């Protein structure tokens, strides 16, 4: 039994073939197989043992008019666009068009699938990179952090040197550094971090005063 029977079938292809080949009366065959005599007569009139197709003989859309359906078919055959693109282009022209109605329309006319050469994806793919080992990745992060630390330290040394030069120039000019404003030193990169051995009246004394 190679075919698929519908849910209400009372016979199988083997029984149907026996009914067609038998010379007995319809009533006798109906009594033997437990069938309705009309069922026996139906299968004895047929030349095949498969079920007849169900549904309307000439299917048509319940949403689209014949003119709208012809428009959909012509547009698909002319543009060869995918289903969603056809829907987007024709939705304004055919307000009742839905995705399911469009798909059924294309299926009825045998154009629901595009040729393979039309649907081939010609876009280039991104190159697939193998994931790096964790050890190499951590080494790269450590190198980056070390370079960053060296840059920060170099900037701090430059700012400290600039503050030293500014204080030396002011001292040689006879200015009172004790009266200097904090913003004057911060503009040069922040107050310099001199040690305890700095002479009195120098930047260390200025810092201790809290100016």
* For residues 105-124, average pLDDT: 75
Pick the more confident residue, 10 or 88.
Answer: 88
Does the structure show a pLDDT above 50 at 210?
no
For residue range 116-167, list pLDDT tens digits in order: 765 455 555 666 666 655 455 556 667 777 887 887 787 777 777 776 777 6
Return the pLDDT at 107: 92
Of 138, 134, 194, 135, whose CA–CA distance to 163 is shortest?
A: 194
3-state secondary structure (DSSP) of residue 31: helix
């Amino acid at each position: 039994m190679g075919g698929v029977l519908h849910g209400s079938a009372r016979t199988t292809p083997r029984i149907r073939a026996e009914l067609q080949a038998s010379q007995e009366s319809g009533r006798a065959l109906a009594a033997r197989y437990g069938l309705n005599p009309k069922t026996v007569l139906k299968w004895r009139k047929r030349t095949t043992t498969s079920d007849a197709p169900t549904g309307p003989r000439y299917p048509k859309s319940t949403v689209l008019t014949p003119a709208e359906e012809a428009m959909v078919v012509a547009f698909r055959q002319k543009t060869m666009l995918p289903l969603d693109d056809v829907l987007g282009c024709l939705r304004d022209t055919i307000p009742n068009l839905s995705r399911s109605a469009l798909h059924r329309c294309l299926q009825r006319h045998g154009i629901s699938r595009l040729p393979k050469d039309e649907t081939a994806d010609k876009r280039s793919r991104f190159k697939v990179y193998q994931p790096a080992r964790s050890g190499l990745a951590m080494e790269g992060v450590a190198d980056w952090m070390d370079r960053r630390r060296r840059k920060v330290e170099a900037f701090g040394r430059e700012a400290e040197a600039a503050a030293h030069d500014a204080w030396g120039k002011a001292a040689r000019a006879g200015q009172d550094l004790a009266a200097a404003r904090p913003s004057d030193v911060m503009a040069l990169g922040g107050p310099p971090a001199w040690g305890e051995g700095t002479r009195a009246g120098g930047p260390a004394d200025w810092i201790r005063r809290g100016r």
